[in-house]
Structure 1
Amino acid sequence: MPTTRRRVVQLATGAATALAAPVLAEPRPKKPLRLLILGGTGFIGPHQVRYALSRGHQVTLFNRGRQKEDWPGHVEELLGDRNTGDLKSLEGRDWDACIDNPTTLPAWVRDAARVLQGHVRHYSFVSTISVYEANDTPADETAPVAAYKGADAYAETQKSVAANLQLYGQLKALSEAEARRRYGEGATAIIRPGLISGPGDETDRFTYWPVRLARGGEVLAPGDGGDPIQLIDARDLAEWSIRVAEQRTAGTFNAVGPARPMTTRQFLGGVATGVGAKPKLVWAPARFLEDNKVNAWSDMPVWVPGQGDTRGFHRRDNRRAMAAGLSFRPLRVTAADALAWFKTLPPDRQAKLRSGLTPEREAALLAKLKA
């Protein structure tokens, strides 16, 4: 039976409580917000909703269909479809803040702004670190973003992005610019997360490692252990985005963790600790992986080489976001919660991870590496 989002949160809370020392909760804001979340039912959306409700905010969601969600408080749901420009349910309404989660297309930002301009005091756009033009050098938020190379960016669709993933970063960059133009620099926050991890990771790009390390045995690990790793727990991203709205924070932010640099060896060690595993890591040089057509990021999730064209990918400066209040829960908690969530999925879903190596291919590569 499919796991509900409520159950995901319960599992995550239980695992985190067992692993992390108690922390002081952020003080609730003096005045509750009227908060509009565009796309509040995906990976980070449910975490945003629950955190916002816990802080006393009035939450409105805008989606194509009404969700069968057992929220811990009243949540208003408005129906519409940004694919077709159906935004009627947003007309004539006022909100203190809007968080735009799912948008890749600048036309979506433009169309929503035609209705929301003058009716929201603060707008947050959840973007991506994929907007950057190059990843060969460590850089901060001032680095150049990718230029759109198509004919008409406002004619692009979700299907065209799925067919040409190079458009993803280009269109996100244009969407950022559209947001600033429509809502104003002083009322717009651009949040650029890296790889989003934790319970609910349907891509398995993070979840592969908790699952694989928990299985034990010899584990093929990428590189020499010294390459950098950056990522963010979906809950850290979600909760910070609510605080950004509360404080009406403006600017552009790389939402990546951890607080201090982390190597691949430290990353796998933290995940192993979280899932209670003591695997034997067998490090495969980047050249070996390339020669054997083992792709970074997909076959070896999270990891990319820390040299060459991807030297700066996992070295994005996060000091501006941390100064604005972004904080990170321990990696071991994220790993434990992700594994607990994964174990609630149907057996056929657990049997086939959506990222990473199959056991058969990993065994063949390990044998070849030893030979």
Structure 2
Amino acid sequence: MRLLVLGGTEFVGRTVVEDALARGWQVTVFNRGTHEPPSGVTGLRGDRTAPGGLAALDGGEWDIAVDTWTDAPSAVRDAARALAGRVGRYVYVSSRSVYAYPSPVGAGESAPLVDGSPDDGDVDYPNAKRGGELAVAAEFGDRALFARAGLVIGPYENIGRLPWWLNRIARGGDVLAPGPSDLRLQYIDVRDLARWTLDAAERGLDGPYNLVSQPGHTTMRELLEACVAATGSDARLRWVDPEAITAAGVQPWTDLPIWLPPGELYDTMHRADASKAVAAGLVCRPVGETVADTWTWLTGLGGVAPHRKDRPAVGLAPEVEAALLNGAA
């Protein structure tokens, strides 16, 4: 198979590239050159947001293209239009954020969507991803596959969610653990995302799929205990009720990554229907494997994970954590 990855040097794109190379596929990576492409690929350079920026793609032909773009949908439109006659199937890595908020418990792919346009410039993330979907659909029709990813974690993560927890727990001592401890989580390991995406594209699947684990694939306790085990630290998890955490002004998801207290946002993020993707072959590895492998990768970088410039830093300030733990004593 001949694969073109638009991006291909960070997190999801890089993992897709590595999975494809392991299959023996011929891989081409197109990016701006900010990061060097992995070894074993053909590297093409260009800025898709600039006039003539797609010129490096002229004349090439591929069986599958994978696009992870998160910004202006017009850039997806231009790439899809340029490749429509030279790519067999176009995979757009979208997001479950395309669903109108709040998304009901058990929402599947037919749930209401946000507005979007393939001609939009800079817009909010949900509208950008929806506009990207519409851009690809307009050019590829039933040759378009939309991987609507949920929370993505694993090696190469450049958002900082799981790396923050690992580094905090590695420091040891009393660690604020946001309750309830049996809070059920829904996410996807980036490697499971990559594997399913390439399998599905090769099989000729089309349309949208919620690409995330089944609800309750793990819990907050299992996740944080896996972090303790992976790091080998002396950390002591001290569970604090969500009411006390939010009353202190702590922001779920950002101050305490991954965690959301029970309620509307939690239902939207962690209680979606993933049965369509599971029926189409999605298999999600155990949380312990995801955590351990992420720790191995992170320690190889000296504990400092890469971070996307367009995303805010995450994590709880030590003094806020200490105050909450003292209050819970």
Q: Could you tell me which residue of structure 1 aligns to residue 45 of structure 2?
A: 79
**8 A contact 2:10–2:158 mirrored in 1:** no
Q: Are 1:120 and 2:92 matched, yes or no?
A: no
Q: Could you tell me which residue of structure 2 aligns to residue 106 of structure 1?
A: 73
1:308/1:50 CA distance change after superposition, 3 Å: closer
1:66/1:216 CA distance change after superposition, 3 Å: closer
Q: Which one scores higher on RCO, CA 8 angstroms, separation ≥ 6? A: 1
**8 A contact 2:118–2:134 mirrored in 1:** no
Give how far 1:116 is off.
Answer: 0.8
Give how far 1:293 is off.
Answer: 0.8
Q: Could you tell me which residue of structure 2 aligns to residue 143 of structure 1?
A: 111
**Contiguous gaps of at least 5 residues in structure 2:** 307-311
Give how far 1:286 is off.
Answer: 2.0
Q: Could you tell me which residue of structure 1 aligns to residue 226 of structure 2?
A: 270
1:133/1:212 CA distance change after superposition, 3 Å: same
Paired with 2:103 and 2:111, the residues of 1 have a C-alpha distance of 11
Q: 2:136 aligns with which of 153, 174, 179?
A: 179
Letter aligned with residue 344 of structure 1: G
2:20 aligned counterpart, secondary structure: helix
Give how far 1:367 is off.
Answer: 0.7
Paired with 1:283 and 1:244, the residues of 2 have a C-alpha distance of 40
Q: 1:252-283: per-residue Cα shift (whole Å, max 9, x none)?
A: 11111257543322332333344345643222
- Structure 1 length-normalised TM: 0.80
Paired with 1:342 and 1:358, the residues of 2 have a C-alpha distance of 21
Count residues in correspondence: 322
Paired with 2:287 and 2:43, the residues of 1 have a C-alpha distance of 33
Paired with 1:263 and 1:220, the residues of 2 have a C-alpha distance of 16
Q: 1:225-246: per-residue Cα shift (whole Å, max 9, x none)?
A: 2332111112111222221222
- Structure 2 length-normalised TM: 0.89
1:127 aligned counterpart, secondary structure: strand
> Kindly, what percent of the aligned residue pairs are identical?
39
Q: Could you tell me which residue of structure 1 aligns to residue 269 of structure 2?
A: 313
**8 A contact 1:103–1:109 mirrored in 2:** no
**Contiguous gaps of at least 5 residues in structure 1:** 1-32, 162-166
Give how far 1:87 is off.
Answer: 0.9
Q: Are 1:209 and 2:165 matched, yes or no?
A: yes
Paired with 1:69 and 1:234, the residues of 2 have a C-alpha distance of 18
1:269/1:69 CA distance change after superposition, 3 Å: same
Letter aligned with residue 120 of structure 1: V
Paired with 1:134 and 1:364, the residues of 2 have a C-alpha distance of 33
1:178 aligned counterpart, secondary structure: helix
**8 A contact 2:150–2:212 mirrored in 1:** yes
Q: 2:8 aligns with which of 30, 37, 40?
A: 40
Q: Could you tell me which residue of structure 1 aligns to residue 31 of structure 2?
A: 63
Q: Could you tell me which residue of structure 1 aligns to residue 119 of structure 2?
A: 154
Q: Are 1:198 and 2:166 matched, yes or no?
A: no
Letter aligned with residue 211 of structure 1: N
Give how far 1:342 is off.
Answer: 2.0
Q: RMSD of aligned C-alpha atoms?
A: 2.4
Paired with 2:234 and 2:284, the residues of 1 have a C-alpha distance of 24
Q: Could you tell me which residue of structure 1 aligns to residue 21 of structure 2?
A: 53
Q: 1:301-325: per-residue Cα shift (whole Å, max 9, x none)?
A: 1011222343232111111111222
1:41/1:60 CA distance change after superposition, 3 Å: same
